[in-house]
Structure formats: structure tokens, C-alpha cells
Amino acid sequence: MAPPKPSSNPHLRRIGPHTAGNPRRPFSSPSTQTRPTSRWFSGLSGRFRRWCLPGKRGRWRSGLAAAATGNAFLLQGGDCAESFKEFGADKIRDTFRVLLQMAAVLMFGGQMPVIKVGRMGGQFAKPRSTTFEERDGLKLPIYKGDSINGAAFDYKSRTPDPHRMLRAYSQSAATLNLLKAFATGNGGHAALHSVAQWNLDFANNREQGDRYRDLADRVDEALGFMAAAGLTNDYPVMTTTEDSTSSLHYDSSAHFLWVGERTRQTDGAHIEFLRGVANPLGIKNLRVKLPHLIRAVERTGQIVTWVCDPMHGNTIKAPCGLKTRPFDAILVEVVAFFDVHEQEGSHPGGIHLEMTGQNVTECIGGSQPVTLDDLTSRYHTHCDPRLNASQSLELAFIVADRLRKRRIGTQ
């Protein structure tokens, strides 16, 4: 079948890599796509359903605005990178359940709405610090996520395949449908009494049970949103559309897009794409610069939502060769985040965690500690280590206690 004709979407024409106004701008790194394939995929845009609708994006922006002023708190969590192989209803359900538990605890601790952002339904690509990987004299492209290439160390798997984006789209749609079913169906996954019982079970099975039980007794829940890293531009370009009511262009593949250290170049394709869409954006910065950043932003009169990412700066290599993250180091950074905002008189707006609802052994520590010797027993991540269900919920209880103290201190 011949490739479809390019989309007539004016936004796609403006940001496209081969237009007169932007002749050299690639959709993504040259190693990822060939130019003819990029043009072919841009033509698929009209065939994809937009699942992040304008009405929800408006509520999402309002929620972020509330978090910026201390009237809400953002909880963002999910896999470092989703995979085709591990896709399944049980895995999605488990992560959804833990996010609900965490949100319920945070909501009670802060006595404010919690905006839940699932790092799922499209998290199939990852920026990497190196372009190639070498083993036993064989040098191949680095694994960049299932929507780009395969993890197996062979030439066929590591060769970028743009058709993987079609599979990523289909799996993302299935994930969202499952989440909606869990939230609104008869299974009770979003029911108040279910979340309450899960949290009580957690508290009753911890040495710190008394510390957590008071918070676990009162909970609430709500359905959240989804987010994705802006790494592979071909995919969001396919799902970019114009809102008929505002004439603004939105990437409909996610409510919330963010850029990090490897994609924040001001002359790069990612910033070029993001400046043309109206989605809320997140930009990661180093913790040591936070006080200076807060003051600089306040001097400009801008209002932003400050969100702590305690995961990426705390990755170490274990003696066994696997990457891991110490729970204590993650906790120290979260505490420092709250301390800095307390000192500066600003608002801690949320936390962003790489986590799973499964009982993996990828991050060491926690009240049910994972040791270095445990890492190899259930190490399933396709990229970076994630907090398991127990560690995630434990961190939520600690953050909730900090929110409670902050709330009491301002009354």
C-alpha cells in the first residue's frame, strides 16, 4: 500500500522538517528515522484518535494553576519506560491502585485536591546518555525504548523501526481504556472503601503502623491524567490537532509534556515542537539550583508549579552491575525540596516518581528493605530502576505528613 499523503494540518506544516520555513529541523535524531519515513508518518496524523480532549486539558491546566499557588498537589508516577512485552491488565491495575492509594494519603495529609498524572499510556521512548552500546567488540545503537528499537543486543532489534510507533499507539489506547474501566467499572478499583482498605492493609503490615494508621483511616480518590516525555517528535506530531474553540494546537497524545537535560536545547527539534503547542509543559532542573531558580522566577513575576523529581539524580550502579536508587537518597531529596520551599516562602507543587505497582526489587531500602543482594531477584525495568508498590506508598505517607505539618503551620 502506498504511503498516505501528508497531513494538511497547518501546525504540522509549520513544524515539519522539510518545509521552506524550517528546512533543516528533524523530527528526532537522525539515527532514529529516515526522512522519507518521517514524511510518511506525518501523513498518518488524521487516522489517529485524539484521546486528550480540550475540555480535560482545560481542567488539567486549572489543576496545575492550583498547585502553583499551594491549593493542590501534583502526584506523577509510573514506569521509567513502558514495554510491549510486559503489557497486561494486571500490571496496569497494580500501578493504578498504588497511585490511588498514594493520592488518597496525600489528599488527607494536605487537605487539598491531588492531581494524579499517570506516567503511562505512551511512555515508550527514553533519552539516553550515549548513542551506541558495545559488547565483546560489537557496537550497536543504544536501546531507546520499544517505540524506537528493541532491547535485545542484535542488529535487527537495535535497528530503529518506525512501525513500532503504531504498536505504541495501539497499546497506549488499550492502556487508557483499561484505566477508564478500572476507574468507572463495577470492579471497585476507584471506590473509596477499596482505597481505604488497601491503605489500612499497608499500615497494619508495617513496623511504623501506628505512624501511618491515622492517615490511612481517612481517604479520598479521583481520576487523574496521563503524561509522556517529549522525546520522539514523530509520534506527538501525528496526534497534534487544532482546537476548534480556541484555534490553539495541542498534542493530543498526552495532557502534560516535559523536556529534560537531553532534550532542552533551545535550537533543537523538541523545543521547536513544544513552542507550537498549548499543552502544559514541564522542564527538569537540578536540585542544587532550586533556591536560585525560585528567586529568579519570582523576580519575573511568573507563576509556575514546582515539582520534585527525586529519582534521576540518585541513580547508582550496584556491585552486580545493575542500576539502582537508594530509597534514603530519594527521601533526602524530597525533604530538601520541602525545606527549600519553606525557606523561600514558595509552594511545593508536587512530586514525580518512577514507580510501579508491582513487587519489584530495583530500588534499595524502604521499611521492607530491598538489599543489594535482592536486586537480581525481581529486576524487570526496561530502563531505570523504579520504586515498588511498598516503597511508593511509604514515600506518600512521609510526604503527606510533611504536607500536614505545612498546613498546620500556615493556619
> Is 262 assigned to a binding site?
yes
Is-contact 392 102, C-beta < 8 A? Answer: yes
158 labelled ligand-binding: no
261 is in an annotated binding site: yes
Report whether 342 belongs to an annotated binding site: no
Q: Known binder of ligand: residue 180?
A: no
Secondary structure of the chain: what % helix, strand, coil (to 5)? 40, 15, 45
| Position 389, amino acid | A
Burial 98-113 (b: 16+ CB within 10 A, else e): bbbbbbbbbbbbbebb
Residue 80 half-sphere exposure toward CB, CA atoms < 13 A: 22
Cα of 360 vs its chain's centroid, Å? 18
Q: What are the CB-based long-range contacts (under 8 Å, 24+) for 248-253?
A: 248/277, 248/278, 249/11, 249/276, 249/277, 249/278, 250/52, 250/54, 250/57, 250/277, 250/278, 250/279, 251/52, 251/277, 251/279, 252/50, 252/51, 252/52, 252/53, 253/51, 253/52, 253/122, 253/172, 253/228
119 annotated as belonging to a binding site for a ligand? yes
Neighbours of 156 (CB within 10 A): 9
Ligand-binding site membership of 47 (annotated): no
Report the C-alpha gap between 49 and 58 in whole angstroms: 19
Annotated binding-site ranges for Mn(2+): 80, 312, 354, 384
Annotated binding-site ranges for phosphoenolpyruvate: 119, 261-262, 284
Annotated binding-site ranges: 80, 119, 261-262, 284, 312, 354, 384
